[in-house]
Structure 1
Amino acid sequence: MREIPFDPANDDIMERLKSVPVFDSLPESHIREAMRAASIRRYEAGETIIEEGEFDNQVFFLIFGHLKITVHGTEVGQLKRLGDVFGEMGIIDGSPRSATITTEKTSLVISLDDAAIGSLGEASKIFTQAVMYRVFAEVLAIRLRKANQKISEMQDELNALKET
């Protein structure tokens, strides 16, 4: 992994960030301010970004790449869209990581550190936290819907097996 501080003068990254759904409605000046607490991380294929069971205070936004999500060694999903968010649950409740995230190919992510957000000026800190929690709520709602659908499908399969 190679990490560099976020450079708000990097127009290519700013253009990508403006395409991320959570940021697309924000003025560029607000994005630049929020990203002062960020760094850019480049991972090569096969590298681990998050390890199941570990503790940290990072949240990540995928800029490009292909990531695999595993729980107890079983693949449970993938991330490959610009703006896909991961690592948010640990920020919300301080619990250990619930999954391992590894790169399938070279990937670039924006990493936001909870402590770095706290070091922003008060107005920027409040704004950034509000944006992050909005993102977290949206992501968790989508994941909950998918989990509920999967539970329903599995219940149907279980009921069908009981009938045989």
Structure 2
Amino acid sequence: MGIRFHANRDEDAMKETPFDPTNREILDRLKTVPAFDSLPEGQLRMALQAASLRRYEAGETVISEGDFDNRVFFLIFGHLSVTVQNNEVGTLRRLGDVFGEMGIIDGSPRSASIVAVKPTLCVTLDDTAMGELGSPSKIFTQAVMYRVFAEVMAVRLRDANSRIAELEAELQRLNK
């Protein structure tokens, strides 16, 4: 992977920098993310006006269950653990994995905690910053994000339904 991640051991906290639309390497990588792959580069740059890059060290918390936040995250590289009530329920490792979208949709507190297992880089979109974009950019960016959210939620609902069916079958087996 060409993107370099240099840890600064003097600082423990996440590092955030505004997205630099001239960073060709990150822009090219983002163009392979399913959320952005169909966008012409000009529209992608427009959507990313509300974006920033966040880097996390192993062990750093990205999202805390129960907190309120107005950001959605797109994984660029790294490995994240997803926990609910201190039980690991999943991991995120693939380029373009999306998380944090539910808080944007309904304004509820975070339903899970997400912690970096390895050094991780994410692009984040801030809902407040999206609201401050000019009208065409704002409408376009919101339309793209809600399409992505709908796709992510559909996949997660299918997975949840499958897990429920497996658990119900196991419960029936145990009750016999």
Q: Which residue of 1 aligns with 2:95?
A: 82
What TM-score, normalized by structure 2, do the two folds share?
A: 0.92
Shift of 1:117: 0.2
Once residues 89 and 131 of structure 1 are traced to their aligned partners in structure 2, the CA distance between those partners, rounded to angstroms, is 15
Which of 101, 107, 118 is the aligned partner of 1:94?
107
Q: Which residue of 2 aligns with 1:149?
A: 162
Once residues 112 and 50 of structure 1 are traced to their aligned partners in structure 2, the CA distance between those partners, rounded to angstroms, is 14
Q: Which residue of 1 aligns with 2:175?
A: 162
Q: How does 1:51-62 map to 2 (within 5 A)?
A: 51-62=64-75
Gaps of 5+ in 1: none
Residue 68, structure 1, aligned to residue 92, structure 2: no
Q: Which residue of 2 aligns with 1:137?
A: 150
> Could you give the per-residue CA deviations for residues 126-161 of structure 1, whole angstroms, max 9, x where no partner exists?
000000000000000000000000000000000001
Residue 21, structure 1, aligned to residue 34, structure 2: yes
Once residues 16 and 118 of structure 1 are traced to their aligned partners in structure 2, the CA distance between those partners, rounded to angstroms, is 25
Shift of 1:22: 1.4
Q: How does 1:105-144 map to 2 (within 5 A)?
A: 105-144=118-157
Once residues 101 and 34 of structure 2 are traced to their aligned partners in structure 1, the CA distance between those partners, rounded to angstroms, is 16
> Could you give the per-residue CA deviations for residues 18-70 of structure 1, whole angstroms, max 9, x where no partner exists?
00011111101111110010000010100000000000101000000000000
Once residues 135 and 162 of structure 1 are traced to their aligned partners in structure 2, the CA distance between those partners, rounded to angstroms, is 41
Once residues 56 and 26 of structure 1 are traced to their aligned partners in structure 2, the CA distance between those partners, rounded to angstroms, is 27
> Could you give the per-residue CA deviations for residues 6-27 of structure 1, whole angstroms, max 9, x where no partner exists?
0000000001100001111110
Q: Which residue of 2 aligns with 1:49?
A: 62
CA RMSD of aligned residues (A): 0.4
What TM-score, normalized by structure 1, do the two folds share?
A: 0.99
Secondary structure of the corresponding residue to residue 65 of structure 1 = strand
Shift of 1:4: 0.4
Q: What percent identity do the matched residue pairs reach? A: 67
Residue 61 of structure 1 aligns with an amino acid whose one-letter code is F
Higher helix share: 1
